[in-house]
């Protein structure tokens, strides 16, 4: 029982940590950070760096402030401008709608159409790179579990569909020289990534408390990086704790079974009782042990016989001279087998 206390504490701590992580995972900032990280790692692992270059968190200055692009993939087959959305539930909307609707359970939320958002990114890149519109390819990437209840608009992809779409571009649209100039122009025009740029971008969008929002975003990004590792550590700790608890319970059950079937695991008191009975020459028929009693008082008329009597004082014996039979019983009237001569001496002493 004492050893099980650390296991209970471990389980309680694990439950609290999991509750905290669950609340964090449900936050919108965490979902956005997770989605962008998934796309970034996916593109890095699936696209050949000799043919594709990926820029993340590209913030550009525009006439009304700034615009922020999640991912820009540069290649000779086009420049792919990606807007990432990490959503769940059902989606309703078309390409030309100003807003889409997202439902999850009983909740219903309107959200800006990400395809229209991405058009603003395309216009900003057109000004920076001086490239024609057909070279810039917009796409919205859904990384969560959200599904369209209506027909899915063109230009919306899952990660697998995005990779297939990028690799399916049939012809080169840019020479290596034009692609290099476009990449240099974007790098020169983009604002330095960091909290200051994020704060200025939110302020340009009219978001109040931009500094607080940026600090929360920074913490959320850190959690997104460490989240998977923390979940693995907590899961491993929970598995170890439960396994150790199961080991203790099984070991306790094994010890109980052994104590019932193994004579070597009987208590010391039982062993002492058996030793005393063996030395007295007593073998119990109906009971495994004999309660300790005060020594029987000797008969003053037969001191020698009383002193030679080795039987416990709680036995009463009866002897028949006609049949030469002697029987002894304890205080509960249970028969006890004793040596014949000892029985005769006890019967003679009780007369």
Q: At what angle do helices 176-189 and 114-129 cross, to 10 degrees?
A: 110
CA separation for the pair 155, 60 (Å, rounded): 23
Percentage of the chain exceeding pLDDT 70: 67
Of residues 191 and 17, the one with the higher pLDDT is 191
Question: What is the DSSP pairing of strand 90-92 with strand 99-104?
Answer: antiparallel
**Rounded (10°) CA dihedral 229, 230, 234, 239:** -10
Alpha carbon separation from 114 to 107, 117, 161, 266 (Å, rounded):
20, 5, 17, 76
CB 149 within 8 A of CB 104: no
**Rounded (10°) CA dihedral 257, 259, 260, 261:** 90
Coil, helix or strand for 5? helix
CA separation for the pair 101, 87 (Å, rounded): 11
Tokens at 163, concatenated: 């990779």
Tell me the average pLDDT of the chain: 78
Instruction: For residue 50, name the pLDDT band (cuts at 50, 70, 90).
Output: very high
Strand partners, 100: 111
Residue 40 is given by DSSP the state H
Amino acid 274: pLDDT: 54
Amino acid 8: pLDDT: 66
Amino acid 4: pLDDT: 53
CA separation for the pair 315, 326 (Å, rounded): 12
* Phi, psi for 344 (deg, rounded to 5): -65, -40
Instruction: For residue 147, name the pLDDT band (cuts at 50, 70, 90).
Output: very high
- What is the phi-psi region of residue 5: left when phi exceeds 0, alpha when psi lies from -120 to 50, beta otherwise? alpha
pLDDT tens-digit profile of 66-79? 999 999 999 999 99
Q: Is the pLDDT of residue 209 over 60?
A: no
Q: Is the pLDDT of residue 183 over 80?
A: yes
């Amino acid at each position: 029982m004492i050893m099980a206390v650390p296991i209970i504490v471990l389980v309680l701590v694990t439950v609290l940590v999991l509750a905290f992580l669950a609340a964090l995972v449900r936050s919108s900032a965490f979902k956005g950070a997770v989605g962008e990280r998934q796309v970034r790692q996916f593109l890095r692992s699936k696209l050949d760096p000799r043919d594709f270059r990926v820029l993340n968190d590209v913030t550009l200055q525009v006439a009304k402030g700034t615009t922020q692009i999640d991912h820009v993939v540069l290649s000779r087959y086009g420049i792919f401008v990606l807007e990432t959305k990490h959503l769940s539930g059902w989606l309703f909307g078309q390409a030309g709608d100003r807003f889409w609707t997202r439902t999850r359970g009983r909740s219903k939320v309107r959200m800006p159409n990400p395809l229209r958002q991405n058009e603003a990114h395309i216009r900003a890149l057109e000004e920076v790179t001086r490239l024609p519109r057909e070279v810039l390819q917009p796409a919205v990437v859904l990384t969560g579990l959200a599904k369209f209840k209506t027909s899915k608009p063109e230009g919306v992809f899952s990660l697998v569909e995005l990779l297939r779409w990028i690799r399916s571009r049939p012809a080169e649209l840019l020479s290596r020289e034009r692609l290099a100039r476009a990449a240099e122009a974007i790098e020169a025009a983009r604002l330095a990534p960091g909290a200051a740029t994020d704060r200025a971008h939110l302020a340009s969008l009219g978001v109040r408390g931009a500094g607080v929002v940026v600090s929360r975003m920074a913490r959320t990004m850190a959690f997104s990086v460490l989240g998977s590792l923390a979940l693995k550590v907590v899961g491993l700790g929970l598995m170890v704790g439960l396994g150790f608890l199961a080991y203790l319970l099984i070991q306790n059950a094994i010890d109980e079974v052994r104590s019932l079937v193994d004579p070597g695991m009987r208590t010391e008191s039982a062993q002492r009782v058996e030793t005393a009975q063996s030395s007295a020459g007593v073998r119990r028929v109906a009971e495994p042990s004999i309660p300790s009693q005060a020594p029987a008082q000797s008969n003053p008329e037969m001191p020698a016989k009383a002193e030679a009597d080795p039987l416990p004082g709680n036995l009463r014996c009866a002897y028949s001279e006609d049949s030469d039979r002697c029987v002894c019983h304890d205080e509960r009237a249970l028969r006890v087998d004793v040596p014949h001569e000892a029985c005769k001496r006890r019967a003679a002493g009780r007369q």
